[in-house]
Amino acid sequence: MQGAAETIDADYIPGASRWLDGHYAGSPDSWMASDGLHPDDTGYANMAERMNEALAALNPPL
């Protein structure tokens, strides 16, 4: 994925595609909606917080 981002001169956030790992539907700390496919409000809030931090850490920050 990083190579693909570099090809189009895009920023790359390592690990972002794995931010929901371990928070699957049915787990005690699930961040997934009842459909088991999409994040719930907690999951979306967590991803937004992590993305804000990741974007601020870019050089130059976005």
Does the residue 62 lie in any domain? no
User: What's residue 60's pLDDT?
Assistant: 86
Distance set, CA 50 to CA 7, 26, 34, 53, 56 (Å): 24, 23, 23, 5, 10
Does the residue 7 lie in any domain? no
Range of the domain at 26: 14-56
User: What's residue 16's pLDDT?
Assistant: 93
Q: What is the pLDDT of residues 15-48, one digit of tens each?
A: 998 999 988 888 888 999 989 899 999 999 999 9
Does the residue 4 lie in any domain? no
Question: What is the pTM (predicted TM-score) of this model?
Answer: 0.79
Task: Tell me the three state secondary structure of residue 7.
Answer: helix
Does the residue 47 lie in any domain? yes
Q: Where are the alpha helices (DSSP H) in the chain?
A: 2-7, 41-56
Does the residue 23 lie in any domain? yes
User: What's residue 26's pLDDT?
Assistant: 83
Distance set, CA 13 to CA 9, 23, 33, 44 (Å): 13, 20, 24, 17
User: What's residue 42's pLDDT?
Assistant: 94
